[in-house]
Amino acid sequence: MCDRSSASPWLTKSTLVAAFDRVDIDVDSGRQVRYRDAVTHPTRVTAGIHLPQAGPAASGPAIRRAAIAAEEIGFADVWVSDHLAVPTGAAYPPSPWIYEPFTTLTWAAAVTERIGLGTTVLVLPMRHPLIVAKTVASIDRFSNGRVILGLAAGWLEAEFEALGVPFDERGARTDEGIAMLRRLWTTDHVTDEFPVHHSSYASMRALPQPERHLPIWVGGHAEVALRRAVAVGDGWHGAFLTPEQTKLRVDRLRRDRPEEAFAISMRTRWDALEDDADTILGELDDYIAAGVTHLVPEPRQRNIDDYLRSMDQLVALMTRAGVSFSHS
């Protein structure tokens, strides 16, 4: 556990860059490797909150209340997950009742004005990139530029089978899909071939486009996902790793992307009504010490009143650890 007295000074300085020769473990091979590491420690750690999107108690009114409360409290963004179908008896996701992510984000956008809108994470290869590009650009326009597109290659093979999408092509579909998104968002008359998706464009137009550079945070924990984040992402978005596991990934990412603008985000299962406060505080310190710049807790409460109580208590704990909210 990180000593709070040694972690908190990071949050009071504009930037602290440590450059040094070191030995670390390659997360892919497990071998020791030596490299010169330039690590930009976070000067401002922010937080989002996962909306109550899943389970029988999830509803339009509950999501509306949660989104409005998150904006009023000062969260940076609200987040939704992506599963279209779940095998019977699956241990995870814990419920097959999951509202579609883009519909949910549109609903949240309609009842808020400032808070960011993120996906944690969209399984990009399950959808054609042209549809994703059009949908995301539309939500971003409607919301005045608030979308963060978290995406990854996916892991639930049965879901791919249900859609008729080859599971073993998910990596190639993700890579080409990201290229297609960027092209469709920045070029008016697109002429190109995208062989993995069997798509041919001859001066095709797909308007409207985002009015800004729309951030893509790449998810996934394997080396191939980290390379993808480094190569084409505006950030990395992990989920449910321990602080120790997170630090290995952050060190790997910062070798090539030391700039502070490159986000390091971690989704957690913290629930302040059920988890020990000191445990949450200790993990908060350890994630910040590992280089995490953004946190997305997901309260397990599905009763909206308990969810909101957990949200309030999480804000109090994160504020103690130095996490920034717009009111602080």
Residue 133 burial (CB count, 10 A): 22
Query: pLDDT exceeding 90 applies to what percent of the chain?
Result: 82
Q: Report DSSP state, residue 202.
A: E
Distant-in-sequence, close-in-space partners of 159: CB < 8 Å, separation ≥ 6 = 83, 84, 85, 86, 123, 126
- Give the active site residues: 83, 157
Is pLDDT above 90 for 187? yes
Query: CA-CA-CA-CA torsion for 74, 302, 147, 127, nearest 10 degrees?
Result: 170
Q: What is the pLDDT of residues 312-325, one digit of tens each?
A: 999 999 999 999 99
Q: pTM for the complete prediction? A: 0.88
Q: Report DSSP state, residue 1.
A: -
Q: State the Cα angle at 233 between 22 and 189, rounded to 5°.
A: 150
Is pLDDT above 60 for 145? yes
Is the distance from CB of 154 to CB of 125 less than 8 angstroms?
A: yes
Q: What is the pLDDT of residues 296-312, one digit of tens each?
A: 999 998 799 999 999 99
Q: Looking at this protein, which amino acid is placed at residue 254?
A: R
Question: Is 199 strand, coil or helix?
Answer: strand
The full set of domains in the chain, from first to last, is: 4-320 (3.20.20.30)
Q: What is the pLDDT of residues 195-249, one digit of tens each?
A: 999 999 999 999 999 999 999 999 999 999 999 999 999 999 999 999 999 999 9
pLDDT for 327 equals 63
Is pLDDT above 90 for 136? yes
Alpha-helix runs per DSSP H in the chain: 4-7, 60-73, 101-110, 129-142, 157-163, 170-186, 223-232, 243-256, 277-290, 304-320
